[in-house]
Structure 1
Amino acid sequence: MNWESIQKKLTILSDAAKYDVSCSSSGSRRQNQPGGIGNGAYSGICHTWSADGRCVSLLKILMTNYCIYDCAYCVNRCSHETARALFTPEEIADLTIAFYRRNYIEGLFLSSGVYRSPDETTELLIRTAKILREEKKFNGYIHMKGIPGTDSRLIRELGRYVDRMSVNIELPSSAGLKLLAPQKTKERILTPMRSIRQGIEERRENRKQSRKAPAFVPAGQTTQLIIGATPDSDRTILRLSEALYRQVSLKRVYYSAYVPAMTGPNLPALTQPPLLREHRLYQADWLLRYYQFSADEILSDDAPDFDVHLDPKACWALRHPEVFPLEINRASYHMLLRVPGIGVTSARRICAARKNAKISYDTAVRLGIVMKRAKYFITCNGRFYGMSSEPAFIRRQLLLREQTAAYEPMDLFGGGSS
């Protein structure tokens, strides 16, 4: 390889990939084979931090930032004057192996602009994946993009070689697409998502017949939504996420605060990314996936956007004073999950512990409940520890708690809460 040329391309295409956040812990079980290198099994590969706190890395680049689309918000749009580059599949494969051998990375995250056409772009991605898997015998983690508008046959072929795929929706409504990305449509985005879901389901059925059934996107699919580029409400975004989890079996939805890197008549005049709004969406997304909430419970027509001062779970609890306080010794698991300060792990511990004895305040603390939050919403053996159940009083106390939490040491081993 011409390393000087590769280095120049790498500088351009790694910088161009920084706006894509749709990758994290893989869940892959692709094991090494005799004569191969790399191992995606049981290693918690992700591009930032693993569940146990390890920092792990992927080679995160674009195959090319040449793009036929002219999305108003994108730094790679065809009308934007910027340095362009294109990696060949062979160069990407060689670069991945070289970085892996030097212990720089544990896998590859490869995205791309739409080069000439969605099908031609996907064919180049397939060729890259085949070189890595079949010629280089690379068994590490690979995450690649499903390009909207690609023929389903090509999506299915690519899915045989990669651990995870992501098809980025980016804008949460058809109106937003029409305004800022008129060459994209909802259907062109959803079609490859459905194809990936179908392939995953077929592979699951085939595995019931034979443990040797070929893999297909074993770590699932993800997507990314840009927050703040269009006037869509938080409720619109959250309802879309809920529908995607249900209809195409997404592993994760990633939310990316809009970075005002481009200017244009249809783009918002932001001075900085709406990072707090992004944070609230991640909190609400957690409630959808693990806390048995629905999008319409978290936000409503009357209140379609998040309170920037309080987390979504606390806001729900304050809107429903008729539900609280809950007696911790009798409340169902479902209702325990709705108490601020009680997480999934601590709710399970409560349900297990109260089979043997009644739970007191001190016991609740030992079970991992964050009592500084939960005490306003529960009773222990009929006793209330929150001083007042008045929503306005509780709100003031929770706001004070939010302000001081940043200065407290992080509990890495507690039961978790929201």
Structure 2
Amino acid sequence: MSQAFKHTPPATQPLTSKTNVADPALWESYSYFPIFEQMRQEDPVHYCAESTYGPYWSVTRYEDIMAVDTNHHVYSSDAHLGGIIIDDGIQNDPENDFKAVNFIAMDKPKHDEQRKSVNGITNPNNLQHFGEIIRKRTSNLLDSLPVGEEFDWVSTVSIELTTQMLATMFDFPFEDRHKLTRWSDVSTAEPGSGIVETQQQRIDELMEMAAYFSDLQQSRKDKPDNIDLLTMMTHSPAMANMPPEEFLGNLSLLIVGGNDTTRNSMTGGVFGFSLFPEQWDKMVADPTLIDNAVAEIIRWQTPLAHMRRTALEDAILGGKQIRKGDKVVMWYASGNRDTSIFDDPDKIIIDRKNARRHLSFGFGIHRCMGNRIGELQLRILWEEVLKRFSRIEVTGEPELTNSNFVKGYTSLPVKLHAL
């Protein structure tokens, strides 16, 4: 099963200025792993002079990524300079005059003001409340699954659980919750990816999302005490009167952040345990390892492969001269496999001592605000799985997302075995 993934062969082509590790085709076949390993060893801050995304720097070692991520004074997330994704066109299409701006694609002070408006969703009282909901839903879903019959874990479990939680966090009409899944996919999709065919199709669907939420928002104006993200946005001085591009951008950010990352870690854990079954046995023998296993799965999966910044001034990074205006891409998927930080990093090791040092949530002012909710969902999932099943058998190869940003799965066939 997936030996090519488990033991990735070394890269055979020399690195050049045309080496483009962001090519989405590489991300459908795990072909990026050997390239990142080669970059970390030979050219950890690598310049690609030509690509469909224009020229960019690849930052591949852990310490260099941290240097960029924690220095917002030099490396900007501002959407007007390019934003957080390597593909400028996803956030800013000059032909369509389409711009989507969110607080993660802003610098201080506006970033802090908008982030603070919704950060309360993860306070301890809310986490306790959400935990009760998550456990009930997880238990009900797992009890409904067929034992001994093949089904798709992605659509049946990962998408369903995270979409239910996302609907709760927005107080979104539960019967329409699968719209959130679609909008999450569309928000990060490149035209021709199989999710949307054209940029115009993508824009049309996101405008549909904005219109739906705008109508929904009207019902929140006289309910300031509701505990949900849309109400918080509606009654926050920093977000109440956002222009349309910021309203749309922040909706996309919160939907993707609350959905894609957790759902792909849910699937990544199942796939990872199939590759390293001794780690599953270790967790079965000692369920107290679940908390650390969650962090290790998030490191190993790295559900968002990269974040991009734009240099505000000339700087030296990893011995390379970065010029003002350069596109700098932090490859979390590479930094989380850096052998100078993580021993045997291609393996899941659920009792890894430094699993929580992973880069998957980012660092600095843009560190993921929903990390505790995501970890909570994953912890509860594995706790409830261990109560019911002796193992989850992966019965075929996973299908991977056609994306260099969302590192995930579109399908994973499995079969459950009862205790």
Q: Which protein, 1 or 2, shows the higher relative CO under an 8 Å CA cutoff with sep ≥ 6? A: 2
Q: Shorter chain as normaliser: what TM range? A: under 0.3
Q: Which has the larger Rg? A: 1
Output the TM-score relative to the length of structure 2.
0.25
